[in-house]
Structure 1
Amino acid sequence: MQLSVTFLGTSGAIPTTTRNPSSLFVAREGDQLLFDAGEGTQRQMMRCGTGFAISHVFVTHCHGDHVLGIPGLLQTMDFNDREDPLSIHCPHGTRRQIRSLVSLLGNRPSFPVRINEVSGGDLAYRGDDYEVRTFDTDHDTRSIGYALIEDERKGRFDRERAEELGVPVGPAFSRLHEGKSVELENGTVVEPEQVVGDPRPGRTVVYTGDTRPTEATVDVADEPDLLIHDATFADDRVDRAADTAHSTARQAARIANRAGAKRLALVHLSSRYAGRSSAHLEEAREVFEREVLIPDDGDHLEIPHQD
């Protein structure tokens, strides 16, 4: 089952010639989700070939570099005769700001736009076999992060063991895998736990948006497959990071370690580091021994099952 991330915008507040403001596209099977929509997001979607069939937009906070792409994106959807509804999730208390962006050009879209305010710890959206949960972040405005968390998967079915127990090939296999017992012709009852292994974990992607390091990021998911964390500054601007409610690459790595993340992606790099992100990598790798990456705009990551 596909789960992938496309980095549409990885810059800090000011775009550069190679990095667009914040935006993240996530595809899971038939679902297409957008996290933040900085200026120029629709063009980035064209460049990366994601299409515009997104059903949900998840906004971490209402600073311009995370939301100014919404009006243009909605206008393009309208021009394309979209009929399907679009849900925009945003921090509690920001509905009015999002509504203003939706109607900025004077005309409401011809398709339904639903605005859903959420607070840290809420269930923002429930999809097929996964959910998007919120967690508190620490920025200088109302803000939240999001975690896409898949349900546990069924354990592996041991066909060889089932056949040894006399279970006939066919529907009985499916019944056992679904957690139901099967009675054989000789009266023996085979229970699911005899032929089905332990449940297997689903995959998790955590996206912080802009934030200082927070305990909530550690707690929201157990060993996330991918943590996408604010790393606006390197160590040379650690005081600036604290003053502006952002994180450094090293601080993001410490959070990744404590969360047990399998991979760490550093985003929202300040334009002062345009073309020179080596310090971010070095400082994060000194702390986090697993894979650290600084994605470029357009980079695409597949999130595999670990087993």
Structure 2
Amino acid sequence: MSLQVTFLGTSGAVPTTDRNPSGLFVRREGDAMLFDAGEGTQRQMMRFGTGFDVRWVFLSHLHGDHVLGIPGLLQTMDFNERSDPLTIFTPQGTGRSIRNLIYAIGPEPSYGVDVVEVGPGETVVDAGAYDVRTFATEHRTRSVGYALVEADRKGRFDRERAEELGVPVGPKFSALHEGEPVELEDGTVIEPNQVVGPPRPGRTVVYTGDTRPVDSVVEAASGADLLIHDATFAESSDERARETGHSTAREAGEVADRADVERLVLTHISSRYAGDTGILKAEAEAAFDGRVLVARDGDDVDVPYSEKR
């Protein structure tokens, strides 16, 4: 079951020639979703070949570098003769602003657009095999982060043990793996727990948007396979980070370490590091003993199942 993250925009508030404003595309099998949509997001989607079959747009907050791509994106979808409805999730109290942004360039799109306000601690999408949940972040405006959390997978089926117990190869194997007991020809009943291991955790991807390093992010990211965290500044600009409601790379590393995540990706990179992001990676790695990536536009990150967890 594939789960892939494509970074459409990784700059801070000021874009650079190499970095677009914020945008994150996630595809889980057939489901496509977008987290934030800075200016030019639709062009980035064309450039990196993500497709436009997005079901949901999740906005972390309403600063321009996270939302100004919405009018162009919706118009492009209209030109492509989209008919499926689109849902845009936005922090509480910001729905009217998003509707105004959508309609600022003309009439309502030919497909349905639903704007839903959300607060921290909600399950905003329940897709059965996974859900998308909100958590509290700390920025200079109303904001939330999002976590894509998969349901547990079935335990491993022990074929060798099943055959030892006399279970014939065929439908009874499937029944046991689905959690149903089976009866053998001699009347013996085999229970699933005799041949199926404990449930295995699914994957978790956490996106903070812009935020200070806060306990609610640590809690939401606990044990996550991938944490995508604001890392706007290096430690030398920690005062500026506090003033503007952002995090330093080291602070992002500390959050990842406390949450015991598998992998940390730094994003929302200030234009002052356009020439070299090495200091950000080094500072995050000093705080987090795990894999660290400073995201660039166009980076694809596959999220595998973790056998360790």
> Fold match, TM over 0.5?
yes
- Cross-structure match for 2:201: 201
Q: Cα deviation per residue 1:142-187 (whole Å; 9 max; x = unaligned)?
A: 0000000000000000111111111111111111111111111111
- Cross-structure match for 1:138: 138
Residue identity matched to 1:245: G
Pair 1:279-2:303 in alignment: no
- Cross-structure match for 2:230: 230
- Cross-structure match for 2:192: 192
TM-score w.r.t. the length of structure 1 is 0.99
Q: Cα deviation per residue 1:89-124 (whole Å; 9 max; x = unaligned)?
A: 111111001111111112110000011111100001
- Cross-structure match for 1:158: 158
Asked whether the equivalents of residues 5 and 25 of structure 2 are also in contact (C-alpha less than 8 Å), the reply is: yes
Residue identity matched to 2:87: S
Separation in structure 2 between the aligned mates of residue 188 and residue 24 of structure 1, nearest angstrom: 53
Residue identity matched to 1:117: E
Cα displacement (A) at 1:276: 1.5
- Cross-structure match for 1:244: 244
- Cross-structure match for 1:305: 305
Q: Cα deviation per residue 1:220-242 (whole Å; 9 max; x = unaligned)?
A: 14311110000010011100000
Instruction: Give the 3-state SS of the residue equivalent to 1:107 in structure 2.
Output: coil
Separation in structure 1 between the aligned mates of residue 221 and residue 285 of structure 2, nearest angstrom: 22
- Cross-structure match for 2:265: 265
Separation in structure 2 between the aligned mates of residue 196 and residue 222 of structure 1, nearest angstrom: 27
Asked whether the equivalents of residues 285 and 292 of structure 1 are also in contact (C-alpha less than 8 Å), the reply is: yes
Separation in structure 1 between the aligned mates of residue 178 and residue 93 of structure 2, nearest angstrom: 43
Separation in structure 1 between the aligned mates of residue 125 and residue 3 of structure 2, nearest angstrom: 16
Q: Cα deviation per residue 1:50-73 (whole Å; 9 max; x = unaligned)?
A: 010111000000000000000000
**Which runs of no fewer than 5 residues in structure 2 stay unpaired?**
none
Identity within the alignment, %: 63
Asked whether the equivalents of residues 226 and 265 of structure 1 are also in contact (C-alpha less than 8 Å), the reply is: yes
Number of residue equivalences: 307
Separation in structure 2 between the aligned mates of residue 221 and residue 199 of structure 1, nearest angstrom: 20
Structural RMSD (CA): 0.7
**Which runs of no fewer than 5 residues in structure 1 stay unpaired?**
none
Map 1:1-307 onto structure 2 (within 5 A): 1-307=1-307
Cα displacement (A) at 1:13: 0.3
Q: Cα deviation per residue 1:12-57 (whole Å; 9 max; x = unaligned)?
A: 0010000000000000000001000000000000010001011100
Shift >2 Å, 4+ stretches? none
Separation in structure 2 between the aligned mates of residue 295 and residue 107 of structure 1, nearest angstrom: 36
Instruction: Give the 3-state SS of the residue equivalent to 2:287 in structure 1.
Output: coil
Separation in structure 2 between the aligned mates of residue 39 and residue 298 of structure 1, nearest angstrom: 15
Instruction: Give the 3-state SS of the residue equivalent to 1:213 in structure 2.
Output: coil
